[in-house]
Structure 1
Amino acid sequence: MKILITLLVLGFSSILSAQDHATGYVFEDNNQNGKKDHREKGITNVAVSNGREVVLTDSKGKYKLPVGEDDIISVIKPSGYKIGSNEDNLPQFFYIHKPKGSPALKFKGVKATGKLPKSIDFALVISEEKEEFTALIFGDPQPYTQQEVDYFAEGIVTEVENIKNVPFGLSLGDLVGNDLDLFNPYIKAVKKAGIPWYNLLGNHDINFEVETDMLSDETYEAHFGPANYAFNYGKVHFLVLDDVLYPDPRDGKKYWGGFREDQFEFIKNDLKQVPKDHLIVIAMHIPLSEPGGKDTFRDEDRKKLFKLLKDFPHTLSLSAHTHIQRQDFFGKEEGWQQEKLHHHYNVGTTSGDWYSGKLDENNIPISTMRDGTPKGYAFINFDGNKYSIDYKVAGKPNSYQMEIFAPKVVANNRRTQAGIFVNFFMGTEGDEVMYRIDDGKWKKMDYVEDYDPSYLEMVYEWDLAEDLMPGRRSSNPIKSEHLWRGDIPYKLETGEHKIEVKATDMFGNTHTATSSYRLEEPK
């Protein structure tokens, strides 16, 4: 009798164990049918996660992970393999396990997934991945209406439609503007880029009626999968994170930038599997920096993240959210634990200044951002564990990297306080910006933190217009962090004078632009 009871207990325990753990294989999908066929081999040492723990597959490609009632199992794509995408070019690297589905919400979440499958398998296909490659980055598409989805599709996506030699893209959150029914139109718009497209969650992509942060991404998960995940390409490890704490743990209202403890557990376990000489790229929505001195990110969490990165000499972090563009460099004062500063790139947005401003020739808002950065997107070029960044202004040639502002006409031989201003969109304090007049001597321009006069002119055009203009008035300006000024030579011959500017960015690339002004005799 005692033996029988023991056997029954052991049997019940094994059933519980089977239900409490997800198992499966990561395998070479030779015929690319998405299913593990008998002769297809498992792949060893591939990382798989449940959003907290990270395990490696064994010699047969098998893994085993604890699983609860609300978990997503995801494979962390290794370099040298590609993962399948669905018909909308969304990578399918995950399995959602929500036996009861998402709670009832205004915007639908995940349907009940039922009983855990006996085997959750992930198909990978061997693929040549060069260490030199380029990723396409979008910040904040953020359409609030279908018309704004169309502005995004026609003003941004059309430029990169069926792009070549770019293996994948990534949107840095605020995929939509609170109306989560726009997720599908957004997906259809980005699909036209023709490449696998990764996404992350922003503060305008969440379920606002929930009471805990763990439930704020239910509708996002139903469309895109886990809000925290990772993948490898070449010698780069990408760590994609939801850094929107909602509701704000301080007062239960609005949101705050930071991470939960389960996310730190995932980050720690994920980084254990990454070689120290690889480049770690962390993508998030809310920047680690706090523009304007506002308390937008929990300082303690920034320090915890930096501590986890202390043994990785090659790092980069990305964000959007602010609808401006800036470069930040973190050192020991902010908790960074290495001698080399950490670079955080707050990317200019594809919606620009929320689809405001005058309409262009295609009836799309020009939407220049408040710091004078035109709307656009970024290309990050990787070479092993090194990187460089190119910002592409929508609707302009690649060479358009700065805007020059100068008076149209100046009185000859009369002192003026007017100046030549250059907004160098990818610039940061310390970059060298030079100018010269009429092939003369090159002079250094002074870095200033001020309002971009080109943008001021744009805003005040609305205020001074006697008739209502098409479109929507641009937002009030803020001080730009990539602005330079030079004096205007006024003791020259009357007539037109050429302005030449050359600027060297942090990656050693030199960019040029020209403009002009006219000297006339005082009247």
Structure 2
Amino acid sequence: MKLHSLLYTVSAMLLSSAAIAQHTTVSGFVFEDKNNNGTKESTEKGLANVAVSNGKDVVLTDAKGQYTLNIANDNIIFVIKPTGYKVPLDEYNLPKSYALHKPQGTPAHFKFKGAQQSIDAQRSLDFGLVAQKEANDFAVYVFGDPQPYTMEEIQYFDKAIIQEAKSNNRIAFGISMGDLVGDNLDLHTPYKEVIKKMDMPWYNVMGNHDMNYDAASDSLSDETFEKNFGPANYAFNYGNAHFIVLDDILYPDPRDGKGYWGGFRPDQLAFIKNDLQHVSKDKLIVLNFHIPLLITGEDEFIHQDRQALFDLLEGYENVLAISAHTHLQRHNFYSIADGWRNRKPLHEYNVGTTSGDWYSGRINEQGVPASTMRDGTPKGYAVMQVKNNTYTLDYKVAGAPQDYQINIYAPKVLAKDKRTSASIFANFFMGTATDKVYCRIDNGDWKPMKYVVDVDPSFQAINMQYDQSPVLLDGRRPSMPEASTHLWMVNIPTKLIAGEHTIEVKATDMFGKTYTQKSTYKIVE
């Protein structure tokens, strides 16, 4: 009995020691870094009411700028950037306002490694911020899925997107919406080297092709992402907007242990809840995640998790969600019927991708694959303009003028006065089902076009070039087309005089911006 008691006491002590090692607290200061050297000097004051998080809990600094947070064996402590301050940037212009606590490191069998470093809980963990002017009117770059699988595709991304978009002094910062690379996580560093050329602060979202596929649990699927980019779930403020970045990919899929499923872990939902407790309801909330919230028959996103997110945002009337992943472009709207609990529907912008249709198609004049997406949207990137707590969105086709927002497809030549099954199709890249699109011929009367959800014939024609060509074409054959959610059509007139005729299409987007595009066709006897 005595030996048993002794063994029980020793076991209890060991368990207690393990618990202490796995779960303790860290404290420090958030301060105004006047000399920008990253070290808190005695003359530098602490900043009160700044949010700091461990990825689940969110606390505010006290009057002296001090905070205390719990840490466990897999934590990242980070500051939620307040408006009017900037955080330190690393050599790639990525925010460096966090500290990793991963004393056990990555599991040994992982192909791509994470970090092994620890926070010294006995020392003050301080974060310096530098004051900066931030207008409530600012612009943000939004990049969908760069997703290079090779160094050659890294160069395509650089040449087609970065060289065009870089160093725009109208842009406050940029964000990439996941799938930063295509499964080869060693390409994270080359991706960062290219993003560095943008010469502005850059934020990153985790995508399903940025994961550690060796992970047996979702909490470990972001090990390499965290090493290369920091937390996969975080937030920051700019102007009167609050940005929340989330990893919404559950891997392995909890249903069968294979693949992935869109959703959130309980600790992620707790982070959102705790973060929003410190966010005024008059702010613009911008949600950023990779997989869209749209639930279809294939069940891409967990119903309960989407509803939990909607519940947490009740009372926030100014919310925009941005996603990527699909390599299509569309706008999704969620109302009370979908479980959204606010008067104004939730707008989710599923942004087109910088890689387009995975770098497929003919090599264009830029020396890169044209890579038009399966819904007929050309590859490109978006610009979000924020004014106080409102926003507008613009899509920029890579390598094209800013006003190129509509692609017209029509026959090249038709017989005079002959009936035809041919039509004029207009793909309005930023269009929604409620937008009005009109067409006219030769400066005649404007006629409304009919909204259709169908395959864009212009994209179908690209595939047919590959199928019908008697010689091997350059570039990879594009993917099979998918129905476009921004397509309109109208019958094409043939009762016209012989000769060339002008087609003009006019469309107005949800923000009141009007665009026009022209094309021509011939009538012959």
Range of TM-score over shorter length? over 0.9
- Counterpart of 2:6 in structure 1 is none
Task: Please tell me whether residue 316 in structure 1 is matched to residue 320 in structure 2.
Answer: yes
2:300 to 293, 296, 309: 296
- Specify the SS of the correspondent of 2:210: coil
- Specify the SS of the correspondent of 1:120: coil
- Counterpart of 2:90 in structure 1 is 86
1:427-458 deviation line (CA, Å, top 9, x unaligned): 01010101111111111100001110110111
- Counterpart of 1:176 in structure 2 is 181
Cα gap change, 1:497/1:341 in structure 2, threshold over 3 Å: closer, same or farther?
same
Superposition CA RMSD, Å: 1.6
- Specify the SS of the correspondent of 2:187: helix
1:374-431 deviation line (CA, Å, top 9, x unaligned): 0000000000000000000001010110100011111111111101100000001010
In the aligned structure 2, how far is the partner of 1:101 from the partner of 1:66? 19
Task: Please tell me whether residue 325 in structure 1 is matched to residue 333 in structure 2.
Answer: no
- Specify the SS of the correspondent of 1:324: coil
In the aligned structure 2, how far is the partner of 1:210 from the partner of 1:17? 23
- Specify the SS of the correspondent of 2:523: strand
8 Å CA contact retained: 1:50, 1:66: yes
8 Å CA contact retained: 2:317, 2:343: no
Q: What is the count of residue pairs matched by the alignment?
A: 509
In the aligned structure 1, how far is the partner of 2:391 from the partner of 2:117? 42
8 Å CA contact retained: 2:416, 2:498: yes
Task: Please tell me whether residue 127 in structure 1 is matched to residue 104 in structure 2.
Answer: no
Task: Write the letter of the residue equivalent to 1:146.
Answer: M
1:238-289 deviation line (CA, Å, top 9, x unaligned): 0000000000000010000000000000000000100000011000000001
In the aligned structure 2, how far is the partner of 1:16 from the partner of 1:250? 34
Residue ranges of structure 2 left out of the alignment (5+ in a row): 1-12
1:305 to 278, 285, 309: 309
For residues 94-493 of structure 1, the aligned pairs below 5 Å read 94-104=98-108, 105-113=110-118, 115-116=120-121, 118-290=123-295, 293-493=297-497
- Counterpart of 1:43 in structure 2 is 47
- Specify the SS of the correspondent of 1:303: helix
- Specify the SS of the correspondent of 2:269: helix
Deviation (angstroms), 1:24: 0.6
Q: Which moved more, 1:360-369 or 1:422-431?
A: 360-369
Q: TM-score, normalised by structure 1?
A: 0.95
- Specify the SS of the correspondent of 1:190: helix
Task: Write the letter of the residue equivalent to 1:487.
Answer: N
- Counterpart of 2:56 in structure 1 is 52
- Specify the SS of the correspondent of 2:186: helix
Deviation (angstroms), 1:18: 12
- Specify the SS of the correspondent of 2:451: strand
Q: TM-score, normalised by structure 2?
A: 0.95
Task: Please tell me whether residue 25 in structure 1 is matched to residue 29 in structure 2.
Answer: yes
Q: Which moved more, 1:154-163 or 1:370-379?
A: 154-163
In the aligned structure 2, how far is the partner of 1:456 from the partner of 1:19? 57
In the aligned structure 2, how far is the partner of 1:178 from the partner of 1:446? 41
Cα gap change, 1:119/1:437 in structure 2, threshold over 3 Å: closer, same or farther?
same
In the aligned structure 2, how far is the partner of 1:87 from the partner of 1:442? 54
8 Å CA contact retained: 1:42, 1:61: yes
Cα gap change, 1:212/1:247 in structure 2, threshold over 3 Å: closer, same or farther?
same
In the aligned structure 1, how far is the partner of 2:520 from the partner of 2:368? 28
1:441-477 deviation line (CA, Å, top 9, x unaligned): 1111000011101101111100001111111001110
In the aligned structure 2, how far is the partner of 1:514 from the partner of 1:474? 26
Deviation (angstroms), 1:19: 7.3
Task: Write the letter of the residue equivalent to 1:348.
Answer: G
In the aligned structure 2, how far is the partner of 1:415 from the partner of 1:201? 53
In the aligned structure 1, how far is the partner of 2:309 from the partner of 2:25? 29
- Counterpart of 1:66 in structure 2 is 70
8 Å CA contact retained: 2:317, 2:342: yes
In the aligned structure 2, how far is the partner of 1:514 from the partner of 1:55? 56
> What fraction of aligned residue pairs are identical, expressed as a percent?
55
Deviation (angstroms), 1:98: 1.2
Deviation (angstroms), 1:163: 2.0
Deviation (angstroms), 1:127: 0.7
Residue ranges of structure 1 left out of the alignment (5+ in a row): 1-8
8 Å CA contact retained: 1:100, 1:114: no
Query: Which aligned segments of 4 or more residues in structure 1 are displaced greater than 3 angstroms?
Result: 15-19, 114-117
In the aligned structure 2, how far is the partner of 1:177 from the partner of 1:253? 18
1:272-319 deviation line (CA, Å, top 9, x unaligned): 10000001100000000146x321111111111000011101000010
